[in-house]
Amino acid sequence: MAKFLIMVLLLLLPLLGSRAEKQVYIVYFGEHSGEKALHEIEETHHSYLVSVKSTEEEARASLLYSYKHSINGFAAVLSPDEVSKLSEMEDVMSVFRSGEYTIHTTRSWEFVGLLMQEEEHTIPTHFKKLGSDLLSRAKYGQDVVVGVIDTGN
């Protein structure tokens, strides 16, 4: 029984190693020329993956996201060898590993005075000076998303 377990572990070890080295990368082509429709852009991204993957199914499965609006690029699960091949292609500007970032927030709502007074559920006094209907006309910021991403670079 012990020999069988050792043999199974030895057979699985290469699979674990190859899976561990694959990571998410961003393949960046630069700006869009504006000549292609959105589905054509995604097909172009897919064609680059097909050229470095074993099968078309593997290429489709590895494509995580196509950047089609602001930039031209895609996110995909790639091995180091695939990254190297893509990096050498003429239209590819860069290939870099995708990072995971944690969001740091502060008491910004409190800082700008947008917290309601909990005990009364009313607008803070200093906003009343601005006009009590200002926040209500702005629907208290409902459906407004404000964000700043600063990577420190």
Q: Note the pLDDT tens digit of each residue in 106-144.
A: 666 666 655 555 555 555 555 555 555 666 777 777 877
> What tokens does 69 get?
């609006």
Contact 45, 63 (CB under 8 A): yes
The reported pLDDT for the residue numbered 47 is 94
Contact 82, 8 (CB under 8 A): no
Instruction: Compare 115 and 54 and report the one with higher pLDDT.
Output: 54
> What tokens does 84 get?
């190297």
Spell out the domains of the chain, with CATH numbers in brackets: 21-97 (3.30.70.80), 104-153 (no CATH)
pLDDT per position as a tens digit, 74-83: 999 999 999 9
Spatial CA neighbour of 45 closest among 116, 109, 114, 95? 95
Residues near 95 by Cβ (< 8 Å), separated by ≥ 6?
A: 25, 26, 27, 28, 78, 83, 86, 87
pTM of the model: 0.57
pLDDT per position as a tens digit, 8-20: 566 666 655 545 5
